[in-house]
């Protein structure tokens, strides 16, 4: 099992120079994995990013930022196509960096919520499956896996639960389309975090975010961590476990994610305390 942290903990948007500073810092803290966000696909140089993470002996994943103009199921076809082009650009950047897992709510804009009828939802799921099938083939040809993340009901009304994301992933039926589960969102939407992890299973669960209920340091709140640890053990999960939290500098999703205050005395403390707890829980 590898333990990582998303650079959103410290900065936004990520630049090449900031990654040059953060990568050795993350390594020194004891992490062996780093996650880089693509708020804009030109924010940093992917080839240089690949060199930086390799020089620091880190594994790496990437996060897609799905804003209003990147929505894969939006009624406006031009917005959908822009979203498809953005994900393709992210996949191309992943290939240059050496990233396997591209994660995030790769379906609808973060913060867009709307009421759907049964027929409207069926139409949108069909549309998403169609678009993800195309993207998954593009990803597979480049050695990348799309990891779809259910979000809580306040950030999306489309995919909130493990059961809902399984429906999509199973219909896409591609080795390059899997699931990311995040304990922050699961605490709001799942009856049992352990049951959701077991439902996803090792064949679908490709990535994992270990986040506290308030986005603070893992272990500092009321996530049922023993249940999470047992479920990951039960399915034989041995992939990356990444802390994802945010600084209020993250303008791209600050409103949707409601990032209004600091969660710990410092961002370094959030990362270090969370890592110490997760290693004790899972290592």
Backbone angles phi, psi at 145, to 5 degrees: -115, 125
Q: The tokens 């992943």 sit on which residue?
A: 94
**Which of 40-54, 129-143, 250-264 is least confident?**
250-264
pLDDT tens string 188-199? 999 999 999 999
**Helices of type H across the chain:** 16-29, 46-55, 77-97, 118-140, 162-172, 183-189, 193-204, 225-235, 254-257, 267-282
pLDDT at residue 85 tops 90: yes
Domain that holds residue 274: 2-282
> Position of tokens 């990535």?
207
Question: Any residues with CB less than 8 A from the CB of 6 and at least 6 apart, and which?
Answer: 34, 35, 36, 37, 63, 242, 243, 244, 245
Q: Is the pLDDT of residue 170 over 70?
A: yes
Active site residues: 149, 244
Residue 208 has pLDDT above 90, yes or no: yes
Q: In this predicted structure, what is the pLDDT of residue 247? A: 78
- State what percent of residues in the chain have pLDDT above 90: 92
pLDDT digits (tens, 9 = 90+) for 87-107: 999 999 999 999 999 999 999
What is the rounded CA–CA span in Å between residue 222 and residue 208? 18
* Average pLDDT of the residues in 118-144: 98
- The reply to whether the predicted model has a pTM over 0.85 is yes
- CA gyration radius, the chain: 17
CATH of the domain at 57: 3.20.20.150
Q: Are 274 and 217 in contact (CB under 8 A)?
A: yes
Range in 24-33, 38-47, 201-210, 256-265 with the lowest mean pLDDT: 256-265
How far is residue 88's CA from residue 229's CA, in Å, rounded to a whole number?
A: 34
pLDDT at 68 over 90: yes
Q: Are 161 and 169 in contact (CB under 8 A)?
A: no
* Residue range 230-283, pLDDT digits in tens: 999 999 999 999 999 987 766 666 666 777 777 888 999 999 999 999 999 998
> What is residue 261's predicted lDDT score, i.e. its pLDDT?
76
Domain count, the chain: 1
Task: Collapse the DSSP code of 36 into the 3-class scheme (helix H, G, I; strand E, B; otherwise coil) and give the result.
Answer: strand
Average pLDDT, the chain: 95
């Amino acid at each position: 099992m590898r333990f990582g942290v998303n650079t959103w903990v410290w900065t936004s948007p990520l630049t090449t120079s900031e990654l040059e500073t953060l990568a050795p810092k993350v390594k020194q803290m004891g992490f062996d994995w780093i996650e880089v966000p693509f708020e804009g696909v030109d924010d940093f140089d992917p080839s240089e990013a690949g060199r930086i993470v390799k020089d620091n002996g880190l594994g790496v994943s990437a996060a897609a930022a799905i804003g209003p103009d990147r929505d894969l199921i939006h009624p406006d076809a031009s917005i959908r196509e822009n979203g498809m082009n953005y994900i393709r650009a992210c996949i191309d950047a992943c290939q240059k960096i050496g990233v396997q897992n591209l994660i995030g709510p790769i379906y609808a804009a973060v913060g867009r919520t709307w009421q759907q009828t049964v027929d409207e939802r069926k139409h949108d799921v069909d549309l998403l499956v169609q678009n993800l099938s195309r993207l998954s083939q593009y990803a597979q040809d480049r050695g990348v896996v799309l990891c779809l993340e259910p979000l809580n009901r306040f950030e999306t009304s489309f995919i909130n639960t493990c059961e809902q994301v399984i429906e999509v992933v199973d219909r896409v039926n591609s080795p390059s389309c899997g699931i990311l589960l995040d304990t922050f969102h699961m605490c709001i939407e799942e009856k049992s975090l352990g049951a959701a992890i077991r439902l996803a299973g090792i064949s679908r669960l490709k990535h994992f975010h270990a986040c506290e209920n308030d986005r603070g340091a893992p272990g500092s709140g009321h996530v049922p961590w023993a249940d999470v640890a047992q479920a990951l053990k039960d399915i034989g999960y041995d992939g990356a476990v990444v802390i994802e939290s945010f600084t209020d500098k993250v303008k791209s999703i600050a409103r949707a994610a409601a990032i209004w205050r600091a969660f710990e005395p410092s961002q370094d403390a959030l990362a270090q305390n969370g890592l110490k707890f997760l290693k004790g829980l899972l290592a």
